Amino acid sequence: MRVKKTIKKIASIGAAATMVGATLMGAAMAADLSDYPNMFIQDGAFNGVLVVGADAKAEDVIGITNIATSLQTASVQTTTVSDTAAADTAADTSYAVSEGYELCNRNLYPGYNISSCEPSVDDSDLDLLADDVYHDSEGDNDNDEKYTQEIFFQNQGTGQFLYTQDDDDAPTADTYLFIDNSNNFLYNYTLQFDSYVSVDNNTNALAGDDLEGTALNIQGKSYTITDVKVTPTTLTGAPYNIINKLKMQSGDSVVWMSEGESLTRTIDGVEHTVELMDVSADATSSAGSCGFKV
């Protein structure tokens, strides 16, 4: 399950930043500064020359560096990217850079990471993190508990906004969102219930009776609980069991069929047809039976 978003790259240039070089200043004024920096951008790339004198002072060098950074940030083109991970689902979607989610309304400077701009996002930012209610009528406990979803950008070691160049990964110097694959995680997803969910956690079987077959909407997609595992703990003194593992299945998990009906499902690229041959109510004293052909 992958959630892709587009991050609008932004940088800031102070109102008092110095335009260095008479040639640059003259060209900018002739083109009307109200159009800055568009007069220097052509087809998404910088088209111009930045000049600094051989005996320039340190503040001049800093000023032209700021100008170069802001111009590079403005040198962007709208591109469409596809969410290939969802290609086999109804949620297959394409996103345009110009329509992406803007992480924050504050400046994200080179060297800073996402958390300095947007520590977290929730349902007010993304519809896929909408609040929902967990309904459970399985087993001996019934639940109707509200829950919230949130994504936290807590890792300081990744998700950095950089102007950089790398011979292998970024041969062209540009502004990048650097994600360090070796540095654990980019974000932490949290689903939190407003109150406790009642469940018999004495054994795996009893916990399964309460929870298996129920569903949760996670990041815009429905997941059905198919297996539950508990483990003993003594966190509060006396030993008791806590749920330490939930196995979930995405998509349809329950399909109602009539006698003689068939359906087709593709699993690992192989197409399977399941046909309900007969239905009997006399198999046992408490339950009927079904005969299937695969």
The answer to whether 11 and 75 are in contact (CB under 8 A) is no
Say if residues 242 and 233 touch (Cβ distance below 8 Å): yes
Q: Indicate the SS3 state at residue 194.
A: coil
Q: Where are the alpha helices (DSSP H) in the chain?
A: 22-31, 58-74, 114-117, 204-211
The span from the CA of 252 to the CA of 138, in Å, is: 18
| pLDDT interval class at 28 (50, 70, 90) | very low
Residues 236 and 214: their CA atoms lie apart, in Å, by: 29
Residue 111 confidence (pLDDT): 80
Q: Which of 147, 105, 145 is nearest to 125 (CA)?
A: 105
Are 209 and 200 within 8 A, CB to CB?
yes
212-247 tens-digit pLDDT:
999 999 999 999 999 999 998 877 777 788 899 999
Contacts of 1 (CB under 8 A, 6+ apart): 85, 218, 219, 221, 250
User: Token digits for 71?
Assistant: 């111009």
Task: Cite the beta strand spans of 41-159 per DSSP E.
Answer: 41-42, 45-46, 80-82, 94-96, 120-121, 132-136, 143-152
How does the average pLDDT of the chain come out, rounded? 74
pTM over 0.75: no
pLDDT digits (tens, 9 = 90+) for 75-110: 656 555 444 444 444 344 443 434 445 666 666 777
What is d(CA 255, CA 216) in angstroms, rounded to the nearest whole number?
A: 18
pLDDT for residue 252:
61
Whether the Cβ atoms of residue 19 and residue 25 lie closer than 8 Å to each other: yes
pLDDT at position 5, please? 43
